[in-house]
Amino acid sequence: MVTVLHNARVVGYQALVKITCDSETCRITSIEQQSRRSFASSPWLRRPNGRDLTATVHIRRQTRDLVVIDAGGSLVLPGLVHPRLHLSQAHFGGGPEDTLDGTELLFSSRGLAFLGPTTDIESLKRTEAVLKGTMPWHEETKKVAALARIHSLVEAGRHIINSSLSHGVTSMRAQVDVDTVVGHLPLYAGSALQMEFAPQCDVRLALFASQPIYSQRDRGYLKEHTDRMMWFLQNAATRDGVRAIGSAPFMEGDHLAALRNIQYILDLAEAHGVDAEFKLDLDISQDGRLFNMLEEIHKRPAFLSDFRSPQPKHANFPLRVTIAHYGRFANMSSLQKSNIAEAVAGWEIYFVGLPDEGQAFLRRPSPSRSGTPYRGAVEIGDTVPNNWASGQNGSLVKDLDAHTSLALENAGNPTTPWDTDPLVLLTMTANISPHEPDDAWEAQAQSLLRMVTMNAAAAAGMGKRAHPQSLHLRPGDVANLVILDGCFDCRTAVTSPPFGRITIKRGRLVAGAPVKGRNGH
């Protein structure tokens, strides 16, 4: 199928352009500047239901082999990316004292061995038909409960992915919990969603150790718990579709256990040829433990940007490390930012800024008493390394921009009530000033948009490792695009993103309507 976009506004071009995409190669085949606007303002071909695709964007022709879209001058960007997002929270709870129907055999710390990493969901469904009367009552209940839990997780994840597609998301790294309570159930649900949405969205699964591996704060070190956590992680890492392994190392009971956690995850990632990721529940601008992690990464050449090896097992190398954090680069001194920039230079290390669940997104912008312009809940420099250092390390610190992205992490939870739209992060992050020249603000807006497109893709293990610095579309790029209906510049995309969006994945139209919330409305 060939998809042609007329009257598209693209960063780097003064005039409107015509973009041609080929779904067979999944690439943009050409970008041509238009000397004048194509088509009249009113559409002559509508969707079968009689409605236009959106308010400004219209489908001019749609056949089996060709789709022609009039973008109406709307901005076209690389597809949005979730570099870190939980598909669903698997809080099952329940020990033996909580249930009397046998489900404790599934959800207790003893009860998930029957669901190994090679278990197929379809085989479980086929087994369901012959369960009754063929096994002890508690075993039957256990398998039925497993199917019910998988179904619940799949339904929750499906809502999240569909909502993300309507927002223009074409790729995501999806966290699936692995621990001694939920076992591999979230992984099975994630694998089912990965296959279901393969033509529409690139869902890359990341295992997340949602319990401490070594030392728990209230129980200390328990060898049985450590052995079981390692068994679950090692077996899950062998499953197809897993692209990363991660943990929250500072959940451990002490600093030594946290370092062992970091070492174990890095070693496990290297052994299986997948990326590593860590969530730091600390402010990296105030806590020096970040550099302990960077020191451990520097001991492993597999994460060097220029790592090369002829061995087949190193086909996916160099590997990447993603560090999710609540820190604020703007709070750091020039020396601190220079030290971090120097530590990541030449390494595949990426920072993903997360919203402050308790404060940042639960208060609205307000003008200051001094009369200065409105500010978002989070200033532009809070997560984006803005206001670069001057002096000999100034350019090095500025390069940290390519290693920085933004992520929602969770959506639709009581503590994270916002939806799955990455652009909402920019709206809350933007520091709007009417006194800045339009071109200066447009450059800042482009920098922010990279945090949810190009840079986010690099942090999620996708795209080139060359640390892209622009939003420019070029022939040969993967045809993952989003059209922002009625939005004509990057500044508007950041401060007031439109509700109407059209998502193109590998050259195919996969979503086009007003955006949908997590509940489908």
Grade residue 120 by pLDDT with cuts at 50, 70 and 90. low
The segment with the largest mean pLDDT, out of 55-59, 277-281, 469-473, is: 277-281
How far apart, in whole angstroms, are the C-alpha atoms of residue 257 and residue 229?
14
More confident residue, 275 or 142: 275
By the 10 Å C-beta count (0-12 exposed, 13-18 middle, 19+ buried), 392 is classed as exposed
3-state SS of 114-146 is CCCCCCCHHHHHHHHCCCCCCCCHHHHHHHHHH
How far apart, in whole angstroms, are the C-alpha atoms of residue 468 and residue 319?
17
The segment with the largest mean pLDDT, out of 11-15, 355-359, 367-371, is: 11-15
Give the single-character DSSP code of 302.
G
Q: What is the amino acid identity at position 276?
A: A
* Model pLDDT for residues 334-363, shown as the tens digit of each residue: 788 888 888 888 899 999 988 765 444 333
pTM of structure: 0.81
Query: Under 8 Å CB-to-CB from 1, ≥6 apart: which residues?
Result: 22, 23, 24, 64, 65, 66, 67, 507, 508
Considering only CA atoms, give the Rg of the chain.
24
More confident residue, 427 or 50: 427
More confident residue, 283 or 485: 485
pLDDT score recorded for residue 134: 52
Q: Percent of the chain beyond pLDDT 90?
A: 31
Average pLDDT over residues 128-152: 61
> For tokens 């789709």, what's the residue?
67
- Do residues 303 and 347 lie in contact, with contact meaning Cβ atoms separated by under 8 Å? yes
Backbone angles phi, psi at 319, to 5 degrees: -85, 165
Nearest-CA neighbor of 346 among 383, 420, 400, 387?
Answer: 400
Report the CATH architecture of 80-356+381-417: Alpha-Beta Barrel (3.20)
Return the minimum-mean-pLDDT range out of 128-142, 232-246, 313-327, 496-510.
Answer: 128-142
The first and second tokens of residue 337, run together, are 């930012």
How far apart, in whole angstroms, are the C-alpha atoms of residue 160 and residue 125?
24
Q: Looking at the predicted structure, is the pLDDT value of residue 388 above 80?
A: no
Q: Looking at the predicted structure, is the pLDDT value of residue 384 above 50?
A: no
pLDDT score recorded for residue 368: 33
Pairing of strands 27-33, 17-22: antiparallel
Average predicted confidence (pLDDT) for the chain: 75
Return the minimum-mean-pLDDT range out of 188-197, 228-237, 356-365.
Answer: 356-365
- Do residues 351 and 404 lie in contact, with contact meaning Cβ atoms separated by under 8 Å? yes
Return the minimum-mean-pLDDT range out of 89-98, 168-177, 239-248.
Answer: 89-98
Backbone angles phi, psi at 484, to 5 degrees: -95, 100
Q: What is the amino acid identity at position 435?
A: H
Backbone angles phi, psi at 88, to 5 degrees: -165, 150
H or E element at residue 405: strand 404-406
Q: Looking at the predicted structure, is the pLDDT value of residue 389 above 50?
A: no
How far apart, in whole angstroms, are the C-alpha atoms of residue 521 and residue 509?
20
Average pLDDT over residues 383-387: 40
More confident residue, 482 or 156: 482
pLDDT score recorded for residue 326: 78
> For tokens 């909580």, what's the residue?
98
pLDDT score recorded for residue 515: 47
* Model pLDDT for residues 290-344, shown as the tens digit of each residue: 888 999 999 999 999 888 877 777 777 889 999 998 766 767 777 888 888 888 8
Give the single-character DSSP code of 431.
B
* Model pLDDT for residues 392-405, shown as the tens digit of each residue: 344 455 567 778 88
Domain boundaries, the chain: 80-356+381-417
